[in-house]
Amino acid sequence: MDDYRTINRAFWDNRVETHAASAFYDMQAFRAGADSLQWIENEWLGSVAGLDLLHLQCHFGQDTLSLARRGARLTGVDLSPKAITTARELASELALDAEFICCDVFETLTHLTRCYDVVFTSYGVTGWLPELAPWAKVVAGALKPGGRFLIVEFHPLVWIFDDGFRQITYSYFNR
């Protein structure tokens, strides 16, 4: 498990700068007030004003901060120190109130001081997990009674293509 964590952390540390500079994340528009969430998250989350919201695997916090702009009390969690540093800097720059915790997602509960109305995670999160059951226990353990969990995720088919989505490179069945 330690090799998995080390490799995964290094992978995401190496992506932060590239992602933050990419057109996909469009940081200029985000800094100007654009919302990074897609229609599906907006529709399913509804109003989050006044809610305690935990964003697991938050990367460098764009979606986390989009939710903070709507009045939620946010905690974002990611295993990448570079991502969390970038998220904290962005929150400070934009004067948005959000807490960011750097830890392995499986260790999240040991870092939390409260439970949440909503636990949220999205796009490309489950494919990096060696096991779903311990992750699900984190989700359940972080929720207030009656709280909601929202996951928006890619279909696993996306992982069979090369980086340019031009050809099938990997087996769907991991063989």
Question: Over the stretch 82-98, which tens digit does the pLDDT of each residue have?
Answer: 999 999 999 999 999 99
Full set of structural domains in the chain with CATH: 2-17+48-160 (3.40.50.150)
Q: Give the best-scoring range by mean pLDDT among 4-8, 23-27, 84-88, 121-125.
A: 84-88
Q: Using pLDDT thresholds of 50, 70 and 90, give the confidence band for residue 115.
A: very high
| Rounded Cα distance, 92 and 165, in Å | 36
Q: In what order do the strands lie in the sheet with 52-56?
A: 98-102, 73-78, 52-56, 116-122, 143-152
CA atoms within 13 A on the CB side of 160: 10
DSSP lists the bridge partners of residue 143 as 116
Structure tokens at 51: 């809610």
| Rounded Cα distance, 145 and 60, in Å | 29
Question: What pLDDT is recorded for position 19?
Answer: 87
In this structure, are residues 68 and 74 in contact, taking their beta carbons and an 8 Å threshold? Answer: yes
Question: What pLDDT is recorded for position 25?
Answer: 84
